[in-house]
Chain A
Amino acid sequence: MTTDVPGPARVLAPFGRRLLTVTANETLGAYRVLKAADPSGPEPAAGQFAMLAAAERWGAGEDERPYVPRAFSYARFKDGEAHFLLEDVGPGTRRLCELGEGDGLWLLGPLGQGFAAPEQGRRVLLVGGGVGIAPLAIWQDELGAGEPHSDDASRTDDEPHPEPPRMKVLLGFRDSAHVEGAALLENAVLASDDGSVGHRGRVTELLCDELDRDTHATVYACGPPRMLEAVRALCAERDVPAQLALEAGMACGFGACYGCVVPSRSGYLRVCVDGPVIDAAELEHVETHAGSPR
């Protein structure tokens, strides 16, 4: 795209997984927000992810799984505490959803490349579907469109704060229990498949309306592959830059296993090191068969 925009952010991970202590596991509708103290971990860039595994009983669950760790975008990171949005969809996520305060959590991260800043003057459209809203929350924090979350006494107001970009948040969910996840972000316009909250239908229909109104925008999207493919196509038709946070089945998270590839215009990309945030222009389509160990 343009050359005057900073590239995607990538904070390096300490080498080796580290043992964290779970500080909270909060219900958020159909989801859980798992929080863990990570005092020695670097602050991730928005869009980066971590590989998580329970310190105890990781294995011997349903079907004698899980075995490999599971990849999760950071949903938030503040005051040395990492937040992850979980949904129980398989033996790995189920075990993580069970964790409570004081339990051990293995974490390797932050990993991958995060979002790149929008080109000056373009408004920002955050488009999320389901559990995929997680990286958009930390990105909203970073872009500064929301109010400060913490009682930030140490913060001095001497530093110049750049004007936050104009932003619109569009989130889609299956039903009312999942819609509660929207509380992770501020000022979201909602869609639900069953019409229980907000627009009845796809979040990409909301995106289409927005882009019809004004294409001078940068789109950041994360959600199910079919949603991301629709976002990619809508943006490509209108020549709107888009960054997509992808998910794929992953065993390692640091480029070793080559298991998480998605096709791109330049061959297969590894979602873990070449992504998870990938410029939509690099993709002819969003792979829908890159299934995950769940």
Chain B
Amino acid sequence: MSVEFCGIELAHPVINGSGTFDAIAARRAFGNAIDEEFPFAAFVSKTITLAPRAGNPPPRLWEAQAGLINSIGLPNKGLERYIAEDLPELARLPVPLITNVMGSTAEEIASLLQACDARPEIAAVELNVSCPNVQTGLDIGADPLALERVLRAVRAELHKPLIVKLTPNCADVSACALAAQKGGADAVSLINTLRATALTPADGHKQTLGPADPWLGGGSGGLSGAAIRPVALAQVAAVAKRIAIPVVGMGGIQNALHARQFLGVGARLVAVGTESFRNPSIATRIATELDCVHGPHSLV
């Protein structure tokens, strides 16, 4: 069940959410099986920034009701080392590579796009816009005007498909999606994690802190997993109605039925994230079941 996405031919419509699968680490754990049985139709990298980032101090995880709150802090080795060290490893994967990048200014984003443009290993770029604007403090992706302005300023730097990873933490996600389309995005992906926090439990392991203190080292984090699926489905449906460019739908997808729901409300592709933590090969099963039972756009 191959599918066309921004001019790229994919074997099936299931990819990974950025930051939820590390193909290089997976090779250390599973060996060559990861290349032979790669579960996704395209691989989306973790977010890459210009400068290296250590990420947030632990604890970074909190198990919520049917979900997970993470405060990882986008650790990455920075653009230069990503290209020198990771890209050759990722190029060995049997699927197209989508590199996810984030910058806090148009200039930073332009540099990231230029670097990705120059690398033939990279088929497309996904731009993470859940990054505060240095002037306003608002997430770039939460402000339609700022989003369109930034995209217009940088779009010419990339001669490849540009996917904008929208943030759900905004007043009107479809307005942001429309701004992304106007700014030159070839596709949008959503939803990113919902901003969330967890407090240190009363019987807490962090006994020096009181019960009203945040558990996560980064203070607050993002909620993912089954708990967010109804929210994600609503946002994907709203966005798909509003824009003409393809939508990558994600948020709590655990099986083919869920995937079919997202495809049914207008997503071109679906992405699996937290469910891969529970079972790394689940995307293979979802893709197989989508293929076996129905076409990609039929609803159960």
By a beta-carbon cutoff of 8 Å, the part of chain A in contact with chain B is: 10, 12-17, 53, 59, 63-69, 92, 106, 108, 111-112, 248-263, 267-268, 270, 272-273, 287, 289-291, 293
B217 contacts across to A, CB distance below 8 A: 289
Nearest CB in chain A: distance from B7 CB, A: 28
- 8 Å CB contact of A68 from B55, B57, B278: B278
Verify B70–A259 contact, CB threshold 8 A. Answer: yes
A258:B26 contact, CB within 8 angstroms: no
Q: How far is the CA of A122 from the CA of B13 in the complex (A)?
A: 56
Contact with A along B248-292 (1 / 0, CB 8 A): 000000000000000000000000001011111100100000000
Question: Is residue B150 within 8 Å, beta carbon to beta carbon, of the partner chain?
Answer: no
The residue in chain A whose Cβ has the minimal distance to the Cβ of B30 is A15
Docked complex Cα distance between A270 and B61 (Å): 13
Does chain A have a CB within 8 A of B29?
Answer: yes
Partner of A16, one of B59, B70, B280: B280
Q: Cβ of B59: which chain A residues have Cβ within 8 Å of it?
A: 249, 289-291
A63–B198 Cα distance when bound, in Å, is 13
Q: A289-B206, A293-B61 are in contact. Are A254 and B72 (CB under 8 A)?
A: no
Complex contact A14–B33 (CB within 8 A): yes
CB within 8 A of A13: which of B21, B30, B65, B278? B30
Pick from A14, A59, A63, A291 the residue with the most CB of B within 10 Å. Answer: A291
Give the CA-CA distance A67 to B274 in the complex, in Å.
10
A111 lies within 8 A of B29 (CB): yes
Asked if residues A259 and B72 are in contact (CB atoms below 8 Å), the reply is: yes
Q: What are the 3 closest A-B residue pairs judged by CB atoms, nearest first?
A: A255-B25, A16-B281, A64-B65
- Say if the beta carbon of B58 comes within 8 Å of chain A: yes
Q: Are the CB atoms of B31 and A268 closer together than 8 Å?
A: no
Please tell me if the beta carbons of B58 and A248 are within 8 angstroms of each other in the complex.
yes
Instruction: Give chain B nearest CB distance to A171 CB in angstroms.
Output: 22
Question: Can you list 23 contacts pairing A with B, beta carbon distance less than 8 Å?
Answer: A13-B30, A14-B30, A15-B280, A17-B280, A69-B278, A108-B280, A248-B58, A249-B58, A249-B60, A249-B61, A251-B274, A252-B276, A252-B277, A252-B278, A252-B280, A253-B29, A254-B26, A256-B277, A272-B29, A273-B28, A289-B57, A289-B205, A291-B58
The count of chain B contact residues (Cβ–Cβ below 8 Å) is: 46
| Interface bits B63-89 vs A (CB < 8 Å: 1, else 0) | 111111010100100000000000000
Q: Indicate if B146 sits at the interface (CB-CB under 8 A).
A: no
Q: Report which of B25, B31, B61 forms a contact with A251, defined as CB distance below 8 A.
A: B61
Q: Which residues of A contact B33 (CB under 8 A)?
A: 12, 14-15
Q: Main SS of chain A's interface residues?
A: loop
**A280 vs chain B, min Cβ distance (A):** 18
Greatest chain B CB density within 10 A among A16, A92, A270, A273 is at A16
Query: If the complex has contacts A69-B278, A249-B60, A259-B72, are A64 and B29 also in contact, measured as CB distance less than 8 A?
Result: no
In the complex, how many angstroms separate the beta carbon of A59 from the nearest chain B beta carbon?
Answer: 6
Q: Within the complex, which residue of B21, B26, B206 is in contact with A291, where a contact is CB–CB below 8 Å?
A: B206
Q: Which residue of B lies closest to A113 (CB)?
A: B28
**A16 nearest in chain B by CB position:** B281
Complex interface: chain B residues within 8 A of A15 (CB): 26, 30, 33-34, 37, 280-281
Docked-complex contact A287 and B72, CB < 8 angstroms: no
**Residues of chain B contacted by A10 (CB below 8 angstroms):** 28
Does the CB pair A261–B68 fall under 8 Å? Answer: no
B225 within 8 A of A: yes
- Cross-chain contact B20 with A256 (CB below 8 angstroms): yes
B239 vs chain A, min Cβ distance (A)? 26
Given A252-B276, A254-B29, A256-B25, 14 additional A-B pairs, CB 8 A? A15-B37, A16-B279, A16-B281, A17-B280, A59-B66, A65-B63, A67-B64, A248-B58, A254-B30, A261-B60, A268-B54, A289-B59, A291-B206, A293-B61
